[in-house]
Amino acid sequence: MDNYEAFKNEVLKLTKIDLSAYKEKQMRRRIDSLVAKRNCKSYSDYVKMLTSDKSVFEEFVNFLTINVSEFYRNPEQWKLLDQEFFPELIKKFGKNLRIWSAACSTGDEPYSLVMALSRHLDLSQIKIIATDLDKQVIAQAKTGLYSEKSIANVPDDLKKKYFTQVGKSYQISDKIKSRVQFKEHNLLKDPYIKDCDMIVCRNVLIYFTEEAKHDVYVKFEESLKEHGILFIGSTEQVIDYKKIGYKRRYSFFYEKDAETKAQNK
């Protein structure tokens, strides 16, 4: 294989994805397997293929953006969201909550948020902004077709109400789909959505370097309203959360808190 640094620069030009922000050993292993699959002898040969073959390019972007997702992932955390955080946010910010599902993958998470919120609000009052940098997974999310395994953790009443079986797959209701607005967004370079009551970003930043993670958590804090909530994944933690300006409520829930920030400067 030839120069990986030069390859990273080419990828940045082509895709706007900065591979330097990802853990190199892990990412390089993934990329090398893809290069080998295409029978390329070097990174430069693979770059030529990326620029000349749209299907190879789309496969590459999809491969880089790790899309392992499921509805109601870690159900005990969704229980907390349902019983404590949603009632609290509605009391604090009103019924038209501004919630951002960042790096939303195939839509499992934002659709889960709509269903969970439907226990507290009328569907017409719910709007989730869902973003991902991968066009393909956004298209998949908009289709709203999922495997039985993917929806296994959805509470039975919601599953019955909002899913229709189509062959071996399950189609999510248009009523739920219509409450989510999907957009392309790159966490490492694009401007962040502002004035959020809650940001949900789970099981994505584990692939980022510590520096990139820190930058993202700082930007999330800036995007949240005072006392807004950040909900992260079960394999993640916010290092220096107090200095950034968060108060940790539970292992995976952080509240933006100016007082905490002032005390830890």
Instruction: Give residue 84's pLDDT band: very low, low, confident or very high (50, 70, 90).
Output: very high
Strand, coil or helix: 259:
helix
Q: Domain 75-263 falls in which CATH fold?
A: Rossmann fold (3.40.50)
Rounded Cα distance between 180 and 71, Å, is 15
Average pLDDT score over residue span 208-237: 94
pLDDT single digits (tens) 145-181: 888 889 999 999 999 999 998 877 888 999 999 999 9
Instruction: Give residue 195's pLDDT band: very low, low, confident or very high (50, 70, 90).
Output: very high
What per-residue confidence (pLDDT) applies to 66? 53
Between strands 145-147 and 99-102, the pairing is unpaired
Q: What's this model's pTM, rounded to 2 decimal places?
A: 0.80
Alpha carbon separation from 154 to 12, 96, 115, 119 (Å, rounded): 38, 24, 9, 13
Average pLDDT over the chain, rounded to whole?
A: 91
pLDDT single digits (tens) 141-151: 888 888 888 99
Is the pLDDT at 15 greater than 80? The verdict is no
Is the pLDDT at 68 greater than 60? The verdict is no
Average pLDDT score over residue span 85-89: 97
**Burial code of 226-261, b = ≥16 C-beta within 10 A, e = fewer?**
eebbbbbbeebebeebeebbbbbbeebbbbbbeebb
68 or 199: which leads in pLDDT: 199
How many residues appear in the chain?
Answer: 265
Is the pLDDT at 45 greater than 80? The verdict is yes
- Angle, vertex CA 201, rays to CA 166 and CA 147, nearest 5: 15
Q: 55: Cβ–Cβ under 8 A, 6 or more apart, which residues?
A: none
Q: What tokens were used for 33?
A: 């397997």
Strand, coil or helix: 244:
helix
Instruction: Give residue 65's pLDDT band: very low, low, confident or very high (50, 70, 90).
Output: low
How many other CB atoms are found less than 10 A from the CB of residue 29? 10
What per-residue confidence (pLDDT) applies to 67? 53
Spans of all domains in the chain: 4-64, 75-263
Average pLDDT score over residue span 104-132: 96
Is the pLDDT at 55 greater than 90? The verdict is no
12 or 156: which leads in pLDDT: 156
Q: What tokens were used for 68?
A: 């392992």
Is the pLDDT at 18 greater than 80? The verdict is no
Find the helix or strand (DSSP H, E) in which 253 lies. Answer: strand 253-256
